[in-house]
Structure 1
Amino acid sequence: MGLVRAGFTATVAVLAAAGGWLAARTPPGAAAGEPRFPQLTLEQLTPAQRPLGEKILKISSVGLAGPYNPMIRSPEMAQRMYDLLDYLRWHTSVPTRLNEFAILIQGRLWRSQVEWYAHYPLAIKAGLSEQVAADLKANRRPEGMKPDEAAVYDFCMELSTRHAVSDATFARAKAVLGEQGVVDLTALTGTYVTVAMLLSMAEEGVPPGKEPPFKPGEP
């Protein structure tokens, strides 16, 4: 989630600027100061957790916060998830613009504050139109999508909401991405459902002082 290629020094600077992503949050339904998963620091990690924690700090814009805070409680699972995310973010056959768009689609379907907060700027940087993102955030089929974006949107939406993909939608996605790309896109979509579930279960929020992307009462 929200991964960026950055050196360890840059990551530490980002973490310092963030000022305690979870320490200052009050999760919905929980008393102040009683998060479901107190934020771990590198110094608190067990020998089983620390090697992965050090890897996370070298690539994550939120340090050990976000989905990593609950994930690392199960260090072997977290390592395997980390390896999967490493492939799906940095080595996938799906172009970055479409990859980030697909993550935003899941973020919107789940109303995942952290997924949208973390991946919206990455999607825009990768070339996704701000208008397309705005329509998606407003729970509308985006206007002005490029043909490859429309193919990804329809594929992800059908798979997520109907639990099936029509022959026509599959053919469009395959024409854009190829067989490997369709498989990679499906794995990405499912993985970010898992990430959204972890964030929701753990009641993770956006950094203190930042506006949540999805407001109460919005569709």
Structure 2
Amino acid sequence: MKRIADLDPAGMTSQQRSVYDAIANGPRKGVRGPLAVWLHRPELAQNAQALGRYCRYETSLEPRRSELAILVIARIWGSEYEWYAHKPIALDAGVSPAVVEAIRTNAVPVLERADEAIIHTFLTELHRDRKVSDETYRGAVELLGEAGVIDLTGLAGYYTLISMTINVFQVSPPDGVPNELGA
């Protein structure tokens, strides 16, 4: 059960409505999940959605790489809504079903692509150790470039914020959609 109700657009303040319209008319095509929670604080919603737009649509990371990263973060945080929202996007972007399933079950995925392996290692180390090793950093720069490592780090921070919001406010997938992470 979600801890905070979605706002009715008819009852929003002018600032909330402005942010709502910007999100609903942008590439997301709607205000759902954590964005609906943040709308209660329109300043947060405005700034977070701008960062999210960059992390989702404008980074140097191709969609396969960024969607893999989002799934890894969703799994780390047990964020069911994020998993629900991004699993089909990741599969469409070229992340293999076997990799998706391994991440879902918390198994170590067999990652045949070097860029996917370094993304998984980078994010696992970052969340487990709160830093990455020199070896992992060098490997990430070699495979993703310096811009890619900066974008991956920003994406990790943004989707951690997303996952924390989802978990704190108990934002769930739509009714009838089963939890896949066991959270």
What's the TM-score once normalised by structure 2's chain length? 0.95
Moved more, 74-83 or 38-47: 38-47
Are the counterparts in 2 of residues 93 and 181 from structure 1 also a CA contact under 8 Å?
Answer: yes
Instruction: Give the aligned length.
Output: 182
1:73 counterpart = 2:40: yes
1:86-105 correspondence runs (5 A): 86-105=53-72
CA distance in 1, matches of 2:182, 2:125: 25
Are the counterparts in 2 of residues 41 and 64 from structure 1 also a CA contact under 8 Å?
Answer: no
Are the counterparts in 1 of residues 7 and 40 from structure 2 also a CA contact under 8 Å?
Answer: no
What's the TM-score once normalised by structure 1's chain length? 0.80
Bigger radius of gyration = 1
**2:158 is matched with which residue?**
191
CA distance in 2, matches of 1:191, 1:122: 18
Task: Say which structure is richer in helix.
Answer: 2
Once superposed, which parts of structure 1, at least 4 consecutive aligned residues long, lie more than 3 Å away?
Answer: none
Matched to 1:57, the amino acid is A
**1:132 is matched with which residue?**
99
Equivalent residue of 1:149, what SS?
helix
Give, in angstroms, the shift of residue 65 of structure 1.
Answer: 2.5
Are the counterparts in 2 of residues 132 and 145 from structure 1 also a CA contact under 8 Å?
Answer: no
1:44 counterpart = 2:34: no
CA distance in 1, matches of 2:101, 2:70: 14
- The C-alpha deviation readout for 1:74-130, integer Å capped at 9, x for no partner, is 111111111101111111011110101001001000110001000000111100000
1:212 counterpart = 2:182: no
Matched to 2:9, the amino acid is L
Q: Sequence identity of aligned pairs in percent?
A: 35
1:159 counterpart = 2:134: no
Matched to 1:85, the amino acid is G
Are the counterparts in 2 of residues 42 and 54 from structure 1 also a CA contact under 8 Å?
Answer: no
Task: List gaps (5 residues or longer) in structure 1.
Answer: 1-26, 28-34
CA distance in 2, matches of 1:145, 1:151: 11
Equivalent residue of 1:69, what SS?
helix
**1:84 is matched with which residue?**
51
CA distance in 2, matches of 1:60, 1:88: 13
Task: List gaps (5 residues or longer) in structure 2.
Answer: none
2:170 to 196, 203, 213: 203
RMSD: 1.3
Matched to 1:87, the amino acid is Y
- Over 3 Å counting, the alpha-carbon distance change for 1:43 and 1:145 in structure 2 is farther
CA distance in 2, matches of 1:60, 1:202: 21
Higher relative contact order (CA 8 A, sep 6+): 2
Give, in angstroms, the shift of residue 38 of structure 1.
Answer: 1.2
